[in-house]
Structure 1
Amino acid sequence: MTAETHPAYLRRLGTWDAAAIVIGGVIGAGIFRSASTVAERTSSGAELLTLWAVGGLLTLAGVLCYAELGARRPQAGGVYIYLREAYGQLPAFLFGWTMALINYPGSVAAVATTFADYACSAVGLSASWVKPVAAGAIALIVAVNLFGISAGSRMLNVFTVLKVSAIALVVTVGVVLAHGQFGNVLATDATHALPPGAFLGALLPVLFTYGGFHYLNDLAGEVREPQKTLPRALGLGLGGVVVCYVLVNFAYLAGLGHAGLAASHAPAADLMRRLFGENGATLIAVGIACSTFGYCSIAIAGGARVLQTMGSDGMLFRAVGRIDPRTHAPQVALAVLGGWAIVLVISGSFGQLVDYTTVGEWLSHAFGISTLFWYRRRFRNEPSPYRVPLYPLLPVLFVFTVLGVIIATAVHSPSDAGMSLVLISVGVPVYYAWRAWQRRGA
């Protein structure tokens, strides 16, 4: 078979491009909004910063496991590939059914709407513009990515720099507002310390804010020297995110205080407003808009690679598995994912989809990491360019943490967890019906 008959992805992403994908995939709007939820569940700044650091370390354990998986199988598709090889087509299909067809486009629709909210607010447009702007943003991202990973990466790099600049601005403002009085930030009250049983509940929103680190593995087929680049980029990217998150929360505490942070619905805007007035709130709205736009770009690019891999496996229509021979981009998959996300934006039906698939997303992380045990047994004599340190402690720690998150989510939102399991289960008859249809058409 010639390369023209079966075009493949080109490895064009270097270490910094790949690290930007990690940073952009993790940092969306959450850190600018969810810190107040964590503050509500803690009694001091020291506890809050400890939670963000612990959440980062736990996520880093998962990232290191993903680094070994990506180095072992540096192909587009990420978790779908690992599940297919370790557990077979059905579990892999259920992952793709839940994530690539529901969670990814639902998340893109939700975050694109958040982008439009902030963008419209920053330029003074009315709420009636939110849906058109969100749909237009998705269409623009798809259009750029149709030209290949290089074009998409250049756009992403710009927005990653802008979002990190917004974080740097928030940190600077917090330090200025503290007037050198940093002792109060870490002050603790032993009489109101967080009980051990409440720790996981307070950790939940932290871990959710650290989500999104898996997108680089979806794009592994386009990373140069992946056995070296993937571990470096995942480590650098997630390490940078942890530093950003801890510093931003330190700034919130320095500028607003623990009680002020807990009472704030928009801590970044409130912090900026204290120093610059409404102009400051507008400025950070632009920064959040850039951050959310960058996330959408990564989710669309990564999700499309999962769809394309499923199509090439015959798990979707073959056209979805096509890679354009000129741009080496999965153009049909990009159009399908982007188009479905736009439908969700216009219909406004993405909110419950995202809630319903949260448990599915975390289950995919648990099962994805668990495939590492299969790879270690199945290929015990095969040298791996990267091995996760402290094996099997780190993968076991991450899997049990994720299972704890799932249980806590089910307790907190049983209806959402139940619907998530229903959506996954619906994929079983769909899988067998699809296979039967394929056999009849063969």
Structure 2
Amino acid sequence: MKEKKQELKRTLGLVDATSLVAGSMIGSGIFLVTAAMARDIGSPAWILVLWLLTSFLTMTAALSYGELAGMMPNAGGQYVYIQKAYGKFVSFLYGWTVFTVIQTGVIAAVAVAFSNYTAVFFPSLEKILINFPFIIISNKQLLAIFSIVLLTYINTKGLKNGKTLQFIFTSAKLIALFSLILLGLYVGLQSDVFENNFSTMWDASKTVVNQNGSVTVTKLSGIALMGAMGATIINSLFSSDAWNNVTFIAGEIKNPKKNIPRSLFLGTLIVTVIYILANVAYLSLLPLHGIQKGSVLQHGIMFANQDRVGAAAASVIMGNLGVFVMAGLIMISTFGCNSGLILSGGRLFYAMAQDGLFFKKASTLNNYDVPEKALWFQCFWASILCLSGKYSDLLTYATFASLLFYILTISGLFILRKKDPNTERPYKAFGYPIVPFLYIFITGLICFDLVLYDTKNTSMGLGIVALGLPVYYLFHKEK
């Protein structure tokens, strides 16, 4: 009897792919990062400008990736594009960074966010079990790890399980988010909060809380303002990241040459609209400026409790009940987000293993035609990051490194247009060459700004990439 050949099956349609794009993008960031942005630049108008710029950059990148996805509809996505343009060495550095911090770091952070909001309903999760100088382990961390293991297990049992779970959770959080935004705008615009926020909307300032609890406010203008904006936009860029995950599962999408570009456009469009409307709703419900002690309205966006702007906005709409409603929504959002991240990440490491640049066992598929070993490798490292307590630092390092690889990948468009002019391109990048060049130029300026204003973290980001150099040669030598 002839054995069944294990291979990736193309079973995901346009709706599934779009659900993965939107679901992977919406995690916990949109409910939190506006507080940090408010402290960094203190201007409602400039905050909205940064979210609009983030939307433009995200859409521009997604449309540019559409051309690459149409040319190379293979498992691994961005890893494959980089390899085609620059060779295996550079593509390995990308895959290495994705494994060490970008994918696994985000999975760990999202899982911890899930457990943090679960603790709103179950306070016993706050209990610390181990408190050593070198490691602290709490019930919340164990729940975070359990959620990663559970989602990994579900995704090893076939693509159908993963896509069904992704569709359910993405649909639920999109409906809930749209409902809260509409309700927030309805309630907020009946007060004078929005008008007060925008009465001096272009006045920018940086607010710093000192170690002794005092607050220092510094007016911003000119070069200082541009520098602060360039540094704080990393918050909105992080919230809008992971849209490229759909390219990792290109080997399992029906008609990928058309459906991947379409899903990239539709998914990023839906999310960017939601993000802008959510920030308008926040500014309608809460004062931008506030004080550290007092009521929810007195805290404002700037000093929202633990930066939970979404929860503060919900409490204005529904009172104390709003805190629990928002906690439930973020639990759904983060759980669904991690489902998509875990599903797609394993495919990238599977593609690397196929090239001999990852653990050999990750190059196989199980009886469900899923790269089970690659998924468990990802699960193991993400769980370690949950225990390390350093995932927030890793995310800061990784976001900078991720931006560099986005620039590199979109630059590959120009290289491949010259290198392979006759390759079939079912979809061509919108506005080429001007729009892709704008992305490279603006994102390059942001990276330069981050190097100047956040040298420590950007150096760590580059250091993590550089650590891949000896690892590459170890794999290469073994092969």
TM-score by length of 2: 0.85
Between the aligned partners of 1:285 and 1:191, the Cα distance in structure 2 is: 32
Query: 1:287 aligned to 2:329?
Result: yes
Other-structure match for 2:151: 141
* Alpha-carbon distance, 1:101 to partner: 3.4
Per the alignment, residue 13 of structure 2 pairs with 14
Q: List per-residue Cα deviations over 1:157-195 (Å, max 9, x = no partner).
A: 111122223322431332233253586178353772674
Gaps in structure 2 of 5+ consecutive residues = 128-138, 205-219, 290-299
Moved more, 252-261 or 20-29: 252-261
Counterparts of 1:358 and 1:62 in 2: how far apart (Å)? 15
- Tell whether the 8 Å contact from 1:84 to 1:91 is kept in structure 2 after alignment: yes
Conserved 8 A contact 1:77-1:305: yes
Alignment-derived partner of residue 309 in structure 1: 351
Q: CA deviation at 1:263?
A: 3.1
The counterpart of 1:422, out of the listed 428, 439, 463, is 463
Question: Which moves more between the two structures, 182-191 or 336-345?
Answer: 182-191
Higher helix share: 1
Displacement after TM superposition at 1:32 (Å): 0.3
Aligned to 2:167: 157
Equivalent residue number for residue 125 of structure 2 = 126
Counterpart Cα distance in 2 of 1:28 and 1:365: 20
Per the TM alignment, residue 253 of structure 1 is displaced from its structure 2 partner at its CA by: 0.9
Q: 1:437 to 1:190 in 2, by over 3 A?
A: closer
SS at match of 2:431: coil
Q: Which amino acid aligns with 1:66?
A: Y
Query: Percent identity at matched positions?
Result: 30
Distance 1:158 1:20 in 2: 9
Check the 8 A contact 1:77/1:219 in 2, yes or no: yes
| Alignment partner of 1:192 is 2:203 | yes
- In structure 1, stretches of 5+ residues that fail to align are none
TM-score by length of 1: 0.92
1:193-272 correspondence runs (5 A): 195=221, 197=223, 198=226, 199-259=229-289, 260-264=300-304, 265-272=307-314
Q: Does structure 1 conserve the Cα–Cα contact (< 8 Å) formed by 2:13 and 2:253? A: yes
Taking only aligned residues, the RMSD between alpha carbons, in angstroms, comes to 2.1
The size of the alignment, in residue pairs, is: 435
Maintained 8 Å contact 2:95/2:348? yes
Aligned with 2:425: secondary structure? coil
Structure 1 position 42, deviation (Å): 4.4
User: SS where residue 389 of structure 1 aligns?
Assistant: coil
> Which residue in the other structure is 2:391 paired with?
350
C-alpha contact 1:131 1:345 (8 A) present in aligned 2: yes
Q: Which whole-Å deviations, capped at 9, do the CAs of 1:235-260 have from their partners, x for residues lacking one? A: 11111011101111111111113332
The one-character-per-residue Cα deviations of 1:404-430 (angstroms, maximum 9, x if unpaired) are: 222222223212211222221121122
Evaluate the alpha carbon distance shift between residue 54 and residue 349 of structure 1 in structure 2; reply closer, same or farther with a 3 A threshold. Answer: closer
Query: Match of 2:67, as an amino acid?
Result: E
- Is 1:24 the counterpart of 2:23? The answer is yes
Contact 2:356–2:475 (CA under 8 A) maintained in structure 1: no
Aligned to 2:443: 402
Match for 2:264: what amino acid?
A: L
**Structure 1 residues 372 and 89: alpha-carbon distance in aligned structure 2, compared to 1, 3 A threshold:** same
Distance in structure 1 (CA, Å) of the matches to 2:408 and 2:3: 34
1:71-150 pair list within 5 angstroms = 71-128=70-127, 129-150=139-160
State the one-letter code of the partner of 2:10: R
Give 1:377's aligned residue: 418
Equivalent residue for 2:37?
A: 38
CA deviation string 1:62-106 (max 9, x = no partner):
010111111111111111101111111111111111112332112
1:276 has 2:318 as partner: yes
Partner of 2:213: none
Distance 1:185 1:59, change over 3 A: farther
Q: Alpha carbons of 1:432 and 1:262: their partners in 2 closer, same or farther (altered >3 Å)?
A: same
2:357 is aligned with 1:327: no
Distance 2:395 2:45 in 1: 32
Decide whether aligned partners of structure 1 residues 180 and 191 sit closer, same or farther in structure 2, where only a CA change above 3 A counts.
closer
Further displaced range: 347-356 or 292-301? 347-356
What amino acid does structure 2 have at the position aligned with 1:70?
A
1: distance between equivalents of 2:196 and 2:10?
46
Q: Answer with 157-166 or 169-178: which moved more.
A: 169-178
Distance in 2, Cα, partners of 1:291 & 1:251? 18
CA shift for structure 1 position 60? 0.6
Deviation at residue 335 of structure 1 after TM alignment: 0.9
